[in-house]
Amino acid sequence: MRTVHKLGWACVSFFAYITLMPSLTIIFMNQLPRDSPFILSDGDKVTCTPFRDLYPAATWHIGPSMGFRDSEEEGDLSSTRDSSIKQAQQVLKVEKRSCGTGRVPTRRPTGKPSLTIRPGRKAYMRRNLPNPTQSDSNALWPEDHNGHKYAVASIAGPYTGTQGRLNVWQPYVEDEEFSLAQVWVASIDKHGFSHSLEAGWQIYKDLYADKRPRLFTFWTTDNYTSSGCYNLECPGFVQTSNKVLLGGSFAAVSTMDSTQFEIKIGIFLDKSSGNWWLRLNDEFVGYWPKLLLGPGAFNFTSGSTTRVDWGGEIWHQPGHYTSTQMGSGQHPSLAGFRKAAYVRNMEVITRDKGLHRVSDPHSISSYPRCCHVVAYNHTIVSKPDWGTHVFFGGPGFTKDCSTDQVHGSAG
């Protein structure tokens, strides 16, 4: 009888533990003391903020509930024999700084809020993109009088994720302008509205107060009209990692004819929760919640389509082409490995096939004379583990890329 009594209490205790564990976890995380703020060598002031202070209504996850494994083709960077390629690390990691469990490293604002500086937001509408299923594999981006220029590889379909490796550069960027390299995952609903999730590296002095390449995220649910922001500047993206600094700089960048430093960016759907996760290298950074994106976003049964882009974007002052560079500042048709910016091992995730290599992406450029993209569907002999990849970029204003030649020129 005593044994049965003990077993009964054990069952009750276990049930109470399971029932109360989420609440106890929340209480524990709320009571965690803030780590002391610290300053990195690049000047960034970092605060470790309890997760619940940032996201009172969000759910904390270590990672997605679904398993996620790289394809055999993509492999691990550590297995490559090319010593000229290394993984780019943030200053935060190189200096062995992080926050405690349940806390998020946040960069103290040093620039202007992105909601006030995102230039020409309405001009960047996915419904105005050339159709990536068209027969012409090299298309021009629609005329943009708001200063945006693009050079991307694009593919459309019912995709639930993507990843690729981007080398990090520090091109010349004029004040009040930006240059970036990134991965886009966009859903276009039946009304033509674009829901876009983006991540990569970016140089943007107005936002970061310097011209270092920095890790960034961005999202919008209404064609960049009124919703969305960079990094953690508004409610939206939920960061769970205590080891990644959104808006943080990289300790080393690629240089001409020398070592290439690259990051692996992955964006993919956790089917069980409906959240879209971001991964930097092998670290899950956080997620865009299902509720944020709305019922029409990425809904493959309601007529929504998904497109994935890889490549570069710049923004310059409207009306004249400036010296702001894209990628490495080199035109990809005249450069290659260790000279031009690239995205390699471009892969997508489908509901049926999982992660697999992109086939025949479409190259789309705003103005090929100024910034261009060159896609390769098959690996090159000297780089057997590159898979499908692109080189992209451009030098900014030159005698071959002036105001008169930009508008209406296909190059």
Which amino acid, residue 36? Answer: S
* Burial annotation 132-149 (CB, 10 A radius, 16+ → b, else e): beeeeeebbbeebeebbb
Q: Is the pLDDT of residue 73 over 60?
A: no
Mean pLDDT of 265-270: 93
- More confident: 395 or 404: 395
Q: What is the mean pLDDT of residues 122-129?
A: 39
- pLDDT at position 355: 86
Query: Does pLDDT of 17 surpass 50?
Result: no
Residue 236 has which token pair? 């939206």
Task: Report, as an integer, the average pLDDT of 18-44.
Answer: 60
For the cut 50, the answer to whether the pLDDT of residue 277 exceeds it is: yes
Q: What is the DSSP letter of 212?
A: -
Average pLDDT, the chain: 79
Q: Who has greater pLDDT, 84 or 407? A: 84
Q: What percent of the chain has pLDDT over 90?
A: 46
pLDDT on residue 410: 35
Least Cα distance to 178 among 89, 276, 112, 134 occurs for 112
Give the per-residue pLDDT at 293: 81
Q: Is residue 328 scored above 80 in pLDDT? A: yes
Q: Is the pTM of this model over 0.75?
A: yes
- Convert the pLDDT of each residue in 393-402 to its tens digit: 999 888 777 6
Interval 156-161 mean pLDDT? 87
Q: What share of the chain has pLDDT > 70, as a percent?
A: 71
Q: Is the model's pLDDT at 11 over the cut of 80?
A: no
The residue ranges of every structural domain in the chain are 85-99+110-406
C-alpha–C-alpha distance, residues 183 and 169, integer Å: 16
Q: Average pLDDT of 345-356?
A: 84
Q: What is the pLDDT of residue 46?
A: 97
Averaged pLDDT, 2-8: 48
Cα separations in angstroms, 228 against 27, 122, 196, 219, 288: 30, 12, 9, 5, 11
Task: Quick: pLDDT tens for 217-243.
Answer: 999 988 888 889 999 999 999 999 999
Please give the pLDDT value at position 352: 66
More confident: 70 or 124: 70
- Distance, in Å, from the CA atom of 187 to the CA atom of 196, rounded to the nearest integer, reads 6
Choose between 106 and 366: higher pLDDT.
Answer: 106
Q: Collect all residues with Cβ–Cβ distance below 8 Å to 5 and sequence separation of at least 6.
A: none
